């Protein structure tokens, strides 16, 4: 049996048919309805892989291919609250980020002291940010 998938769209003449050959001489045609065929063809012509779902439509009873609408995730950049001597304090939509980086050649006691100082600077930066937000009458 030979299965021939025929793509039904305005651009069907540009899309090659996929053929599967089996032992039987009978032919069975299966029609596949492609949604958004123009966009799909553009992606295929650019050499991109198109992922989607192939299903039988409940209303029409036809085999339908629907490509996934994959959108790149757009994330807002973090807003710098204050640049600190050994790092920074930034604000994102959901979090307050504090970063600190200290030289390795310092001893443990010095790094611990600088970490406390760094934390104090970060706390002061957050307090200043809150005071800037509040409007005084």
Question: Which strands make up the sheet holding 96-100, listed edge to edge?
Answer: 79-84, 87-91, 96-100
Residue 69, both tokens = 């609408």
Q: Going by C-beta distance under 8 Å and a sequence separation of 6 or more, which residues neighbour residue 50? A: 40, 43, 44, 67
Q: Is the pLDDT of residue 22 over 50?
A: no
Q: 58-109: per-residue pLDDT in tens?
A: 888 888 888 888 788 888 999 999 998 889 999 999 999 999 998 889 889 9
User: Which of 23-37, 88-102, 110-124 has the least mean pLDDT?
Assistant: 23-37
Q: Which one is predicted more confidently, 76 or 18?
A: 76
Q: Which one is predicted more confidently, 117 or 135?
A: 117
Q: Is the pLDDT of residue 1 over 50?
A: no
Between CA 17 and CA 12 the distance in angstroms is: 9
**Partner residues linked to 111 by β-bridges:** none
Tell how far CA 55 is from the center of its chain.
25
Q: Is the pLDDT of residue 52 over 80?
A: yes
């Amino acid at each position: 049996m030979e299965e021939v998938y025929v793509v039904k769209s305005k651009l069907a003449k540009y899309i090659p048919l996929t053929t599967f050959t089996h032992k039987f001489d009978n032919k069975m045609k299966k029609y596949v309805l492609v949604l958004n065929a123009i966009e799909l063809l553009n992606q295929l012509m650019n050499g991109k892989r198109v992922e989607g779902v192939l299903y039988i439509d409940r209303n029409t009873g036809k085999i339908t291919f629907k490509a996934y609408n994959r959108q790149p995730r757009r994330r807002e950049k973090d807003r710098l609250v204050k640049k600190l001597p050994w790092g920074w304090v930034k604000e994102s939509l959901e979090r307050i980020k504090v970063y600190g980086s200290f030289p390795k050649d310092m001893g443990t006691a010095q790094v611990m002291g600088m970490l406390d100082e760094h934390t104090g600077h970060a706390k002061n930066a957050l307090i200043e940010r809150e005071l800037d937000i509040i409007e005084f009458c």
